Structure 1
Amino acid sequence: MIARRALLIGATALSAVALTGPLVRSASAAADPAEFIRQLGDEALAQLVGSDITKAERAERFRKLLVANFDVPAIGKTVLGRYWKTATPEEQQDYQKLFEDFLVGNYAQRFGQYAGEKFTTAGVRDEGEGLHTVMTLIARPNGQTARLDWLMRDDGDSYKILDLKIEGISMSETHRSEFASVIQNNGGKVASLIDALRKKTAQMNAG
């Protein structure tokens, strides 16, 4: 229940904070990590929120968002955890593609649930080795707030988001636990996860 709530809040939070404009440019030119998030927030909502946006359009725009601002390959490898080393090169390639498809299918359509949330940045924590955590607060219309921490990597002239913690719950760790359970329940084979992701993404695309 907690994990599901985290995913739902995370999707809404992404709609409030991390949507880009028509060119889907990243905020890599931002002077600091907090400004990166603020710029994304300033460009938010126009692309993925609205009753006139089709499912296919929303999915395509969200995929561009991921590529522009999130290090999806690094996140995917982290989520697979220790099983990354046991996967064959072909399995690694198939998994990474399906993981991106999974993120798109799992989160893109949730942006239609946006209900006027507002966000503010609440500080930046230097994690060392080019990593920063931007702390933000999401204020919902009902008066409740949610704390979100964005883990980002400084690549010199750009930033990439590596993880999002919602009230202390890591999205990467949540998915890693889910994926590990699938693998462990199927003889430790990464192929079982790949099959599950393929079926899941097909269902989401058909729904």
Structure 2
Amino acid sequence: MTAGITRMLRGVGFAFFAAALAFAGPLVAPAAAQPETPAEFLEDFSNTALTELTGDGLSQDEREARFGSLLEEGFDVPAVSQFILARFWRTASEQERADFIVVFKDYLAQRFLPLFGGATDVELRFGEGVPLQGRDDLFEVPVTFVPADGSEPVRTIWRVRQQASDFKILDVRAEGVSLAVTLRDEYTSVIRQQGSVAGLIEELRRLIDSGQIRPVNQQS
């Protein structure tokens, strides 16, 4: 399962650093005014993520705990989990759904936290959010990642939903590749192999516990 994700991550490079930022939100309410647009929301999130997750003196356990808290604040985890499990979500028990969300968050932490190491070497340029399919609550926001070394910029699209006065991130696409769709395809394959959502949960936990979810250059 991880081979496909690894190939995709290599192919889009910095773009999936965007996904790591997308899974981050403020630990506490910001002192500044609440963001009024999706672009302002994403810019606040990226700044807060860099501050909270790249500070000196943080243990790995503390960084992972912070990541989990940030994830809950900024990302619609239940909605994304439901999308990723697709039709299997409907047949899963309430306990299996809850267990999947827990292991999914652990997966994201191990997959994306190491990518914050080079974050200060990238400039983020935020475009204006565009309403999607005539809706006034769903937006696509272009974000361009410009490496400091002068290499080719990476253009991404973040999908953001407005909920009352708050925003939640649903997905990020890079070079036409959707993170949520990629994970859905990977997880569906595992469910078919293992025979159930419970089997997927068990396999994800095994991979996490063995450290196989980390980026290749971070594995021991």
| Amino acid across the alignment from 1:3 | M
Query: How big is the shift at 1:153?
Result: 0.8
SS in 2 for 1:114: helix
Q: Are residues 98 and 157 of structure 1, via their aligned partners in 2, closer, same or farther at CA, if it must alter by over 3 Å?
A: same
Query: How big is the shift at 1:8?
Result: 5.2
Question: How far apart are the structure 1 equivalents of 2:160 and 2:84?
Answer: 16
Query: How big is the shift at 1:121?
Result: 1.1
Sequence identity of aligned pairs in percent? 29
Question: How far apart are the structure 2 equivalents of 1:129 and 1:17?
Answer: 21
Query: How big is the shift at 1:190?
Result: 1.4
| Amino acid across the alignment from 1:65 | L
Question: How far apart are the structure 2 equivalents of 1:7 and 1:195?
Answer: 29
Q: Does 1:193 align with 2:200?
A: yes
| Amino acid across the alignment from 1:149 | I
The aligned counterpart of 1:64 is: 69
Could you tell me the TM-score, scaled by structure 1's length? 0.86
Contact residue 27 and residue 40 of structure 1 kept, 8 A: no
Question: How far apart are the structure 2 equivalents of 1:103 and 1:35?
Answer: 24
Which structure 2 residue ranges, 5 or more long, are not aligned? 1-5
Question: How far apart are the structure 2 equivalents of 1:6 and 1:111?
Answer: 18
Q: Are residues 74 and 140 of structure 1, via their aligned partners in 2, closer, same or farther at CA, if it must alter by over 3 Å?
A: same
Query: How big is the shift at 1:118?
Result: 0.6
Q: What is the number of equivalent residue pairs in this alignment?
A: 206
Question: How far apart are the structure 1 equivalents of 2:33 and 2:121?
Answer: 26
The aligned counterpart of 1:111 is: 116
Contact residue 7 and residue 171 of structure 1 kept, 8 A: no
The aligned counterpart of 2:3 is: none
The aligned counterpart of 2:127 is: 122
The aligned counterpart of 2:139 is: 132
Q: Are residues 92 and 164 of structure 1, via their aligned partners in 2, closer, same or farther at CA, if it must alter by over 3 Å?
A: same
Which structure 1 residue ranges, 5 or more long, are not aligned? none
Query: How big is the shift at 1:42?
Result: 3.8
Query: In angstroms, what is the RMSD of aligned CA positions?
Result: 2.8
Q: Does 1:141 align with 2:148?
A: yes
Q: Does 1:78 align with 2:83?
A: yes
Q: Are residues 97 and 25 of structure 1, via their aligned partners in 2, closer, same or farther at CA, if it must alter by over 3 Å?
A: farther
Contact residue 11 and residue 111 of structure 1 kept, 8 A: no
Greater Cα offset, 11-20 or 42-51: 11-20
